[in-house]
Chains A and B, each alone.
Chain A
Amino acid sequence: MKIWTSEHTFNHPWETVAQAAWRKYPNPMNPAVIGTDVLDRKVVDGVLHTHRLVSSKWGFPGWAQRILGNPSVCYASEHSQVDPGMRQMILKTTNLSFCRYIAVDETVSYAPHPQDSEKTLLKQEAVVTVQGIPLHNYVEDLLTNKISLNAGKGRQAIEWVISKFNTEVKDLTSSAVKSTDEIIAQTKKSLDDITETARKSMDDLSTAAKKSFDDIQNLKYVPPRTNQSLPEL
C-alpha cells in the first residue's frame, strides 16, 4: 500500500474554484478522461450530493496490459459533497476497473485557506493498493507516480478553467506563470522517481538472476564417479 498526499493553494475564492471543479473536464491537461456521467444528485440539508461515473482511457505499458488485460475504457466512481454554508467541497473517487488487483482511493477537498479566506486550499490524498500480481510493489510505485503527475495536471486544469471565465487579466497572467513552473517541476520529479524505481527493480532482477545462476552452478558440481567404486568382476 502506498499513500500519497499533496496540498496546493489557489489564488481564487472557494466559490470560483468550486464552479471550476464542475467544469474541469474536458481540459487539454487530462485528455485521458473521456466522459463523466451523473448517476445520482440531490440536495440534503443544504448539501449537494453527487455520484458520478468517470470514464477514462489509460495508456498502460504493454507488460502491464498482459497482466491486467486491456479494457479500452476504465471506470471510476466519484462521490462528492458541496456545502456552500461551510464553503467545502469533497470528492472521493474509487476505481471500478481492475478491482481484483488494484484499488486506488482518492480524496480531494477544496476549502478556504485558513490564513486567507479569499484563497482556496486543495488537499489531496490517494491510497494505492496492488495485490495478487507479480511486481506489485513496482506497480504501486508506478501508479503513485502517475497520480502525482496527474495531480499537477489537475491543478493546471482548474486554473485553465478559471482563466476561461475570469475577466481579471492580471490575475490570469500571474497564475499562468506560476502554473507553468509548477508543471515543469512536477514532471521532472516524476521522471526522477520513475527512473529510480526502474533502476531498483533492475538491480533486484540482476541479484535474483545471479543467485539462480550460482544455484545452477552448484547443482552442476557433482563429484566425479570413478571406476574404482564399481565392484570388480
Chain B
Amino acid sequence: MNSIGENCNELKKQYDSCFLTWFSEKFLKGETNDEMCAPFFKVYQQCVKKAIQEHHIDLKVIEQDHLGTENENKVPPKS
C-alpha cells in the first residue's frame, strides 16, 4: 500500500514488510519486543511527517482527543 508521500513509498514498503514479518513471526507468538523494525520505522516516520505537512493535513486534529473536553464541537443553538 502506498504512502501519502510519494517519495516515502520505498521506505514504507521496507518498513511494512519488516512489520508484517515481526507481527506474524514474533508478536503473535508472544514476543513483544518491537526493536526489530525500529530503524525502518524511524526513517519512514521522518518522511511521512514531512509529507503530512506538505499535504496540509492538520496533525493536531488527528492527535488531539476532543471528545469529553471543552474543545468538543457543540451543536449550534437553534435560532
Contact = CB atoms under 8 A, between A and B. Distances in A.
Contacts of B2: 26, 34-35
Interface in B15-34: 15, 19-20, 23-24, 27-28, 30, 32-34
A132 B61 CA distance: 20
B1 A39 contact: no
Interface stretch (A42-50, A148-156, A167-175): A42-50
A95 to B, nearest CB: 11
Interface string A6-33: 0000000001001100110110000001
B20 to A, nearest CB: 6
Contact of A84 (B27, B52, B55): B27
Contact of B62 (A26, A33, A53): A53
A222 interface: no
B30 to A, nearest CB: 7
A19 B24 contact: yes
Given A25-B1, A53-B57, A96-B62, A38 B15 contact: yes
Is chain A's binding surface mostly helix, strand, loop or mixed? strand
Interface string B44-72: 11001001100101110110000000000
A42 B34 contact: yes
B34 A37 contact: no
A41 interface: yes
A96 B61 contact: yes
A146 B64 CA distance: 28
Given A15-B28, A42-B34, A84-B27, A53 B1 contact: no
B20 A35 contact: no
A46 B48 CA distance: 26
15 contacts: A19-B28, A22-B19, A22-B23, A26-B1, A35-B2, A37-B52, A38-B44, A39-B62, A42-B34, A48-B23, A53-B52, A82-B27, A96-B61, A96-B62, A99-B61
